[in-house]
Amino acid sequence: MAVQQSKSEIALKGIGVSPGIAVFKSQLLTPHSDRAVQRSISKDEIPFEIARFEEALIATHDQIKHIQKQVAEVLGDEHASIFDAHILVVDDRTFIEDVIRTIQSDLINVEPVLQAVANRYADMLAKVQDSYLSERAADIRDVTKRIMANLAGETLDQMKQIKEPCIVVAHDLSPSDTASINKEMVKAFITDLGSSTSHTAIMAKALEVPAVVGLHNITAVINSGDPVLIDGAKGLVFVNPTESRLEEYRKRAAEQELILTELETLRDKLPETKDGYMVPITANIELLEELEGVDARGAKGIGLFRTEFLFLGSESLPGEQEQYEAYVRAAESQYPSPVVIRTLDLGADKLPTGFENPDEMNPFLGDRAIRLCLSHPDLFKTQLRAILRASVHDNIRVMYPMVSCVQEVMDANTLLRQCMMELSKEGLPFNQDIPIGTMIEVPSAALIADIIAPHVSFFSLGTNDLIQYTMAVDRGNENVAHLYNPTHMAIVRLIDYVVKVSHKFGLWTCVCGQMASSPQLVPLLIGLGVDELSVSPSQAPVIKDVIRKLYYSDAVELAHKALNSSSAGHVEQLCHDLIKKIAPEVLEISE
């Protein structure tokens, strides 16, 4: 790992998406040219252009299938499923017919038409105020880039041409680029673009390759061959690192290796504080393929099963039986631990194929989640019936998203009771006492928690949206993202109020948002009385480590100080100081 340093050190801060420390020379990847040169064609040439397009589609389909197979062999089906979205794009008849119609009407060659149509689709997705769907714009651009390369008879596999161990530097990396990484050659990567929710970030974590993205202009300040040091956990990049910097990180790399090894031993240990206070750790999942990884990392049960991905990943609306089988699979995999199934959190910004809903000016504040389900009772009842049938496994719970008033809960419960009566008449078994919960992710719901409580069995705090809606901040907008602050006094007080109401009515409260996966905020949540933490499976070991090194009494004291604080910065510092005292190793492996 030795590198020669002669130029001045440059320190940069990006988004750490895959932890680890690496020191190697850089390899700058040149961006692929789309070569979308426009030329006019005659009517006689239309069949030829369409044939070129279809041949490129077939080649692209085959290439993606080959990549998917390679990923499945190395990382398993869960990560190979990332490329399902790419296959859907290249097989999408609406997309294909749009390109063909434009070739026929405008009499121009396929390349600029493909580029224009793809950009239109990608731009629409990129504007959606949903991190998962906006990231899917990258899938469209990745597939388009591959189709364009096939039209030009070029290759995109720059990764396979790397012959020496290095740190890859690129403007951006597509999922297929990342899937082509040879870990013997690519020791880490850094990019101008990217976010923590991108497929590239997910792949980097799965491959356990250190990665920092969102550096804005790294490709402009670095040359191939420059020595680079990256800290993937903290999102730090050092170009031409000094000898003292290298020595510092040699020690840190050794320390991190010991920490990670120790965390792996916590899998079967209880999430219990040093003074005997138990805080269950459950998992957030989106895909059925993630079920196997829940117990493997030390979580017990599912605190949030995002069911909309059953719908968005399908060419048609899934029926009752298909949903029932998915929910049964989840219940059986976790039994006897709980499985909380969140009903559809869909809206005009994310709708499955075959579902029509009017366009909205601001879909993020529109007809979505529980509102949309109540306005489409047939859709909602199909899901409720499937959940109820699966509830013969008595570990299943049902939860309504984005509730903003008590009437929505009452109306949803009325439909649930109707489904119970229907199933009883049909002689189909179900759990008549299935626990019912509601997400608290809208300030209005938090403030009337006492009115909602008599109608439910539990609350689940969706802190990502609760913060966003309370602070009126789009966390995806870098101009205001600094205002998205989980330690803001309004957030701390809302959580405190909801938990107090919950306990007054004999309910339990879970946090399933990003706050639960943040080690520094876990003591605050526990001190505020949160009963359960539902986290990303990969975060379960570090969250369990914090809990096991914490005194509940210290957490309560922290919460008391936070509630009497006057600034978000002060609360954040209190949290940081406690973690530094009880589990300083956490600060070594997290941002």
Backbone angles phi, psi at 13, to 5 degrees: -120, 125
Residues 6+ apart with CB under 8 A from 337: 282, 300, 301, 302, 395
Give the active site residues.
199, 512
> What's the pTM?
0.68
Inter-residue contact 473 to 484 (CB < 8 Å) = yes
Q: State phi, psi for 582 to the nearest 5 degrees.
A: -95, -30
Query: Tell me, what's the pLDDT at 1?
Result: 46
Q: Among all chains, which residue has been given the structure tokens 């909380």?
A: 340
Taken in order of first residue, the domains within the chain and their CATH numbers are 10-32+157-262 (3.50.30.10), 43-152 (1.10.274.10)
Give the Cα separation of 260 and 216 in Å (integer).
30
259-293 per-position pLDDT tens digit: 777 888 888 899 999 999 999 999 988 778 778 77
The DSSP call for residue 373 is: H
Q: State which H helix or E strand residue 201 sits in.
A: helix 199-207
Classified as helix, coil or strand, 277 is: coil
At residue 420, φ and ψ (nearest 5 deg) are -60, -45
For strands 302-306 and 339-342, give the pairing: parallel
The low-confidence residues of the chain, meaning pLDDT below 70, are 1-6, 31-36, 70-82, 127-135, 153-158, 175-176, 179, 196-200, 202-203, 206, 312-315, 347-364, 475-479, 481, 590-591
- Distance between CA atoms of residues 14 and 235, nearest Å: 5
Smallest CA-to-CA distance from 369 within 387, 386, 349 is with: 349
Beta bridge partners of 306: 342
| Contact criterion met (CB below 8 Å) for 259 and 266 | no
What is the tens place of the pLDDT at every residue in 384-412?
A: 999 999 999 999 999 999 999 999 999 99
DSSP state of 347: B
CA distance 550 to 523: 7
Distance CA 489, CA 567 (A): 7
